[in-house]
Structure 1
Amino acid sequence: MSSPLGAVEIVEMAPRDGLQNESAVLTTEAKVELVERAVRAGARRIEVTSFVNPRRVPQLADADELMRALPKYDDVRYAGLVMNQRGLERALAGGVDEVDVVVVATDTFCGRNQGMTTAEACATAASVVAEARAAGVFTTITVGASFGCPFEGEVPPARLRDVLQRVVAAGPDEVALADTIGVAVPADITERAALAREILGAAVPLRVHLHDTRNTAAANAVAALAAGITTLDASIGGAGGCPFAPAATGNLATEDLLYLLQRTGWQTTLDLEATIASAGWLEKQLGTPLPSSLLRAGPFPG
């Protein structure tokens, strides 16, 4: 039966963003299990790992091994995060279906995150996108710190406009606005989604990546939907965060988002009970409580 409000696509981030900031380092076998659990729950776009310097993100040092171990499904797309040409080479060799290239909106954070200025990151992203698209791989450019920076504070709309203009000139298949440190409120989502749509036009899909650091991610998801954005990132259990930003805690929990969407009348491919079960499994693997609300309270009616 079709939903009265339409369909929402959830990009599952737990294997990459969910694990990169956790103190526990999962085995490759456990990561394969996490991906397979997401697939069984109905996830069809999964960001599985990050092809970055393993010394910088040791939790994801097995990216190449993981890609060799993952089962392939005709209707599931695996994405890998890349920062530069070397990362792209590894991602393509691993057989990714998508690459996600990050450009951080402020120079200070961009320097901490990837050792270059925002302008340099935009140039690098353009080169990566061109090569990835030539190889037939779907490309996303994620603009990190679109709503605020842990080092420079507020990110003015004029700054975001400049970055988005550079990003759209690179020709990605999709653009994502990331609330990397979880500072946005719904009014920010509304404002910056409108700014992004003005620059991107109607042809380039827009998605949002929300962190729940200040307990606003669910409200921000509603604001994104109201702004016409129907591709949202989330992480099983609410696991994750950015290792290069102080106090950048977990993502919007996939099961919390699912509950919100289902009760509101949106359709997804995901099963709520299976996702909650996966959150409980992941919590045991990590050995630390995860911030998911549905993992504690369960669905309603119970």
Structure 2
Amino acid sequence: MDIWLQVAQAGDRSEIATLIQRSTNAWYQRHGLGAIFPAEAESCGLFVDVYQQLDAGYHWVARDEQGVICGSCFFHPRETHLGLGIMNVHPDYFGKGIASRLLAKAEELAGDLPVRLLSSALNLDSYSLYHRAGFTPYAIYQDMAIPVPAQGFTFPRLTQGRVRRAQLADRPAILQLERELLGIERQCDIDYFLNDTSGLWRVAVWEQDGRIGGYLASVAHPASRMLGPGCCYREEIALELLSWMLDHHHRGTTPVVLVPAQRSALSQVLLRWGDGFVNYILHR
């Protein structure tokens, strides 16, 4: 089969949204799990829209000889790394080497920078693919689904600080947190979150005596209800950020949050709030 790669075009949005929904749901359903995108395929256009705004020209698709889009991957060039984002292959094209072609494109785009990606430990197919390509896990996260009551979520204060909605003036402190705690820099992502006017995104910071010790972003959309990214100095700060965001951005829904597995006290609290499974971050 003749497969070729090209940068996605504006007119591909609907076809790519359908591909993301069908591919992801097919994998989960084939493994006895429910559809992860139960809403209409159009809802998955969120990913195309967001990453077009963030990284125009870095969304690549695979086409067959008839021009049908059979694969898609979002790439995210950043100051310290290349992020390998959502990758999908149409169910009719599984096992035909399309994912490997897209991974090779990631290496080409990265140059000398490391490549980072997040993947579910449930998906051993993808783990095998990434492992063969030279990726190694360096962080494990517990993936928690947390139901939030319609009347809101309350949690006792654990620190002397306060959580508030982030402002543009907080950007330098947030970037410093990521450099110090995560060793990465992604200014365009932080700018995107802080400048959002759609209401889909929200950012909160934890502050004490004028010093910011943590931040948390969140998205609320039918295709993605997730808390993160974010980072902070202590687990108590994380819990206060999480509880604030659940109460202010996700009432009556069940968002997902990824928690570092080594933070056992934090994981134990969140396990009492909801259910979890494991993800891992890899790099090459």
TM-score calculated relative to the size of structure 2: 0.31
Bigger Rg, structure 1 or 2 = 2
**Which protein is richer in strand relative to its size?**
2
